[in-house]
Structure 1
Amino acid sequence: MTDRLALAGIAAASFVLAVLQLFFLPLRFDGTLLPRLGDWPFPLTAALAAVTTPALVVLASRHARGTLGAASPLLVWVGTLLLFAVLGPGGDVLLLGDWRTLLLFAGGALPGAIAVGGYLGRRAGVRGDHR
């Protein structure tokens, strides 16, 4: 019961992080939120996704009994981004049509997939599935 509750909390954290990373993706050095430094884009959320998504996968793998449970933070994160890409609130488009969106997807999905692969490798090593 506590493992399922922990996985649900980790999935909820993954959802919240995906929403926050998506909302702050257009961050720029334009003097609004950050100092004015030539209006350069600053996709900090892609770096944040590269750290938090695999960390959540590793945390979920400690409570998971199977691959789906371990991969659930990654699946929730990608699903949330895709959901907001298709069905933005009020018909708004939240994903940018430039390199920052690709960087966000790559920054979260690739390290998260590597963490899932690490879980699968450890699980195969414990079971002795060496082929």
Structure 2
Amino acid sequence: MPPTPPDSGALRRSLLLVLLVVDAFLLATLELFYLPLRLDGVLLPRMGDVPVPVTVLVAAVTTPLLVTQTARLVHPRAAILPLVVWIATLVALGVFGPGGDRVLLPDWRALLLLAGGALPAALVLGGALGRRPVGTRGAGRGG
């Protein structure tokens, strides 16, 4: 009897999971490195040297989106992986950054980034884990 080929659905889900986790890593890296943006005339226009943590808004949108897509396309239990990778990347690069430099700012913007990305994603994760996967309607509930 010839060996059975791997399930193409499982392979597709695994590749999607890898892609979504890599996206979480890249987004956390970019959000962390662009967190110190200021209206100082270098990258943004000069308007009083005010901090503009625009990456907090990016994190508040993209991190829950990654969790939602992982729950929908891969499996609800796998939806925690993008969130864990995002937080681990923030902590690892922020504290032990490239070349040993501390990248995470010791001020309110760092807390805002962590809260802005992690809290909405955790809420979405809870909702995804609370739902039954598609195709299991009535399984184990007697009807």
For the criterion TM > 0.5, the same-fold answer is yes
SS at match of 2:49: strand
Larger relative CO (CA 8 A, sep 6+): 1 or 2? Answer: 1
Match of 2:126 among 109, 112, 117: 117
CA-atom RMSD in angstroms = 1.9
Query: Which residue is equivalent to 2:18?
Result: 8
Structure 1 segments of 4 or more deviating over 3 A? 124-130
Greater shift after overlay, 31-40 or 78-87? 78-87
Identity across matched positions, percent: 51
Q: CA separation in 2, counterparts of 1:29 and 1:109?
A: 26
Larger helix fraction of residues? 1
Structure 1 unaligned blocks of 5 or more: none
Contact 1:4–1:63 at 8 Å: present in 2 too?
Answer: no
Larger of the two Rg values belongs to structure: 2
Query: Structure 2: 5+ residue runs without aligned partners?
Result: 1-10
For the Cα contact (< 8 Å) 2:56–2:117, is it kept in 1? Answer: yes
1:74 aligned onto 2:108: no
Return the offset for 1:127. Answer: 6.2
Q: Which residue of 2 aligns with 1:62?
A: 72
CA 1:5–1:119 in 2, change beyond 3 Å: closer, same or farther? same
